[in-house]
A and B are shown apart, each in its own frame.
Chain A
Amino acid sequence: MSATVESVAPEQMVTADGTPLKVSLARARRRARNRALLLVAPLFLFIFITFFIPIFSMLFRSVENELVGDTLHRTVPLLQNWDESGDTIPGEEVFAALQQDFAEAQKTKSAGRPGRRLNYEKPGFSSLFRKTARKAQKLEPPYREAFIKISKDWGDVEYWRVLKRESGKYTKSYYLSALDFSYDSEGNVVKNPGKESIYIKLFWRTLWMSMLITVLCLVLAYPISYLLSTLPARTSNLLLILVLLPFWTSLLVRTSAWIAILQQEGVINDFLVFLGFLSDDGRLAMIHNQVGTIVAMVHVLLPFMVLPLYSVMKTIPPSYLRAARSLGANPFTAFVRVYVPNTVAGIGAGGILVFIIAIGYYITPALVGGQSGTLISNLIAYHLETSLNWGLAAALGAILLGGVLALYLLYDKIVGIDNMKLG
């Protein structure tokens, strides 16, 4: 046997057309790899254009600040030489440039937007810009006095400090506002006083409510997943329908169901009044507050917890518990020390999934949350739709996105993204 091995050894192996086998194999592998990549490429490109570029454009918008510099393109470069730490406003040449910029902005009707932009930093800018733009074309030198005559604000060094600070191509002011910081009159970054720190408060509320919802989902999902995994297949498949039907039912349907159930004239209140537990004018307020958001969201997210738990529990052999019992553990000890540790993977998967979905939730809190039950997403929507402060909406979104991505990586560590299963 050793003789045959020796006789084959040293010669280089070649394929039929004479190329070395190694080279030929590498080429075949490369081709197979390229074929696999080619199959993924169309979707990759599609997702990149329709999804990633939009996300990047949002991230960009949270720091982008070209409006002021573009509109006041003569004034801004001159302002760089002005010392904002002093108490004097800029000199005549800056005002002359300002007059030209405003005259031009008035022609193109473009003074309103930078005014609104600066108004986020210091209320008053919006009306100041509108007023100035209307009169700019007719101003005569000396411009400095003429501007101050339009509005005293042009003589206020604070306005000039804000203008200089927010004239760059990029700004961090949206992130500062999103984290409840602002600039004081000297331009130092300071924390907003307690009453005005709405965003941090809302981030906290989003976090604790999501956490509470996750825990409640776990508490409710654990028993029924256990039951489903121990029942005979026929019965458990039937009961599983009770989990899957809500899962597949439109979110709006479930939310409107909760409105019908929880509202003042709703099913629960009517029932309690009918039974005499409540007087007709003592009806409980269970909706348009945190209770409404929590109840409805637990209902909406419960299937996301049951399904991963159930799939993990199904794989735990019942003999484990019997073995623990036969070794002397009482039912409780056997359950806590043997069964529960085996389900940790399911708890982790379901928990993170529910938490990720909960912290970004928008629809249900918007409909049943009222004032106290809204989450950070609702505030993002508010800034997008109503206040039109898109930069701030983008900054809040970017912070939320950062949190979710961190959780996503954690999920990947615990469960593995390619182990994600549905239904």
Chain B
Amino acid sequence: MALPAHAGKIETIWYYTFRVLCGMIFFFLIAPIVIIIPLSFNSVPFFTFTSEMLSLDPAGYSLEWYKDFFTDLNWQGAVKNSFIIAIFSTLISTTLGTIAALGLSRSEMPAKTVVMGILISPMIVPLIISAAGMFFFYTNIGLASTHLGVILAHAALATPFVVIVVTATLVGFDQSLIRAAATLGASPVVTFFKVIVPLILPGVISGALFAFVTSFDEVVVVKFVGSYEQRTIPWAMFSGIREQISPTILAVATMLIILSASLLATLELLRRRNERLRGMSPG
């Protein structure tokens, strides 16, 4: 939206004021994330900029908190648990979610809206309520404080994202391709792997990424269904902030920011590939 040539004085002023305003809102969004990064190289155990840091004195910076992260068993256990739990719950939720999305996007599916509403409700119910219910039930059946319990809980929380993303991909999917494959003699299994999978793969991968992040970032359910043995990175950060604030948390945060930036880049590439496959953009 360029400023039109005929714009009057007031319009010109408003045009620039508006842009400055938007700039400030973008600053509000991104500044807290950017500010974490230099703070994590602090040489003193505080969450704040020291005068050495501001005068760019090398003595004000250190890698101490990164060293602490890589040597501390508490954090290393958390990293291991985070990946184990996120990978397994992603596998479960992506498999079940993709299959369900294939069913949901068939035109013969009865009561589609109701079924969809039920399947994505884990996303809508506040986490503390899911966590409370899972805490009661998983304790009764002996799944509380086990990795399996947390994995199943996370898989349940993550499936709605897979269902939504894969269903959205399937909207552009031409169902007649399946019939075409069948008339050419392909069995349903061959059709699935040779025709359906290559076309919906970008959607499935984005769904899996959503599922992975959901589990990787989740802390309420881990806190109630799991115990110290199932501690994940967010769990360790949560109790770290509550008990003893150390810049190690900021070092972890910086690494997580890098992780989410690369996730974002992957998703964007997938989105472009998906659009290209559907012929929606020349891109």
A254→B31 CA distance, assembly (Å): 10
Q: Which residues of A contact B128 (CB under 8 A)?
A: 360, 362, 377, 380-381, 397, 400
Say whether A258 contacts B110, CB under 8 Å. no
Give the A-binding residues of B (Cβ under 8 A): 1, 11, 14, 18-19, 21-22, 25-26, 28-30, 32-33, 35-36, 39, 46-49, 92, 96-97, 99-100, 102-104, 106, 108-110, 112-113, 115-122, 124-130, 132-138, 140, 152-153, 155-157, 159, 161, 163-165, 167-168, 206, 210, 213, 216-217, 219-220, 224, 233-234, 237-238, 241-242, 245, 249-250, 253, 256-257, 260-261, 263-264, 267
Cβ of A265 to closest chain B Cβ, rounded Å:
5
Contact of A299 among B29, B135, B219, B260 (CB under 8 A): B29
Assuming A51-B122, A55-B133, A380-B128, what are 11 further A-B pairs, CB within 8 angstroms? Answer: A43-B100, A54-B133, A223-B22, A242-B30, A249-B260, A256-B47, A256-B253, A265-B46, A360-B127, A362-B126, A381-B128
Q: Which residues of A contact B26 (CB under 8 A)?
A: 224, 239, 242
Say whether B260 contacts A47, CB under 8 Å. no
Total chain A interface residues with beta-carbon distance under 8 A: 90
Say whether A360 contacts B129, CB under 8 Å. yes
Q: Which residues of B contact A356 (CB under 8 A)?
A: 124
Contact of A254 among B11, B32, B99 (CB under 8 A): B32
At the interface, yes or no: A266 with Cβ under 8 Å from chain B?
yes
A163→B129 CA distance, assembly (Å): 30
Say whether A224 contacts B33, CB under 8 Å. no
At the interface, yes or no: A363 with Cβ under 8 Å from chain B?
yes
At the interface, yes or no: A245 with Cβ under 8 Å from chain B?
yes
Chain A 300-331 interface 0/1 with B at a Cβ cutoff of 8 Å (1 = within): 00110000000000000010000000000001
Q: Which residues of B contact A263 (CB under 8 A)?
A: 47-48
Say whether B256 contacts A47, CB under 8 Å. no
At the interface, yes or no: A244 with Cβ under 8 Å from chain B?
yes
At the interface, yes or no: A272 with Cβ under 8 Å from chain B?
no
Say whether B134 contacts A54, CB under 8 Å. yes
Say whether A397 contacts B108, CB under 8 Å. no
Some 27 contacts from A to B, beta carbons below 8 A apart, are: A33-B108, A35-B106, A36-B103, A36-B104, A39-B104, A40-B100, A40-B104, A40-B119, A47-B122, A58-B129, A220-B28, A224-B22, A245-B264, A250-B217, A251-B217, A252-B238, A252-B256, A253-B253, A256-B253, A258-B32, A260-B36, A267-B35, A303-B29, A367-B241, A397-B133, A408-B124, A422-B165
A249→B119 CA distance, assembly (Å): 26
Top 4 A-B pairs, shortest CB-CB distance? A360-B126, A39-B103, A54-B133, A230-B1
Cβ of A138 to closest chain B Cβ, rounded Å:
36
At the interface, yes or no: A136 with Cβ under 8 Å from chain B?
no
A38→B100 CA distance, assembly (Å): 9
Given A242-B29, A256-B253, verify A394-B132 contact (CB < 8 Å). yes
Say whether A42 contacts B217, CB under 8 Å. no
Given A360-B129, A401-B125, verify A253-B238 contact (CB < 8 Å). no
Cβ of B196 to closest chain A Cβ, rounded Å:
12
Interface 9-mer from A72-80, A99-107, A413-421: A413-421
Q: Which residues of A contact B220 (CB under 8 A)?
A: 362-363
Cβ of A48 to closest chain B Cβ, rounded Å:
9
Q: Which residues of A contact B19 (CB under 8 A)?
A: 227
Q: Which residues of A contact B122 (CB under 8 A)?
A: 47, 51
B49, B136, B157: residue with the most chain A Cβ atoms closer than 10 Å: B136
At the interface, yes or no: A169 with Cβ under 8 Å from chain B?
no
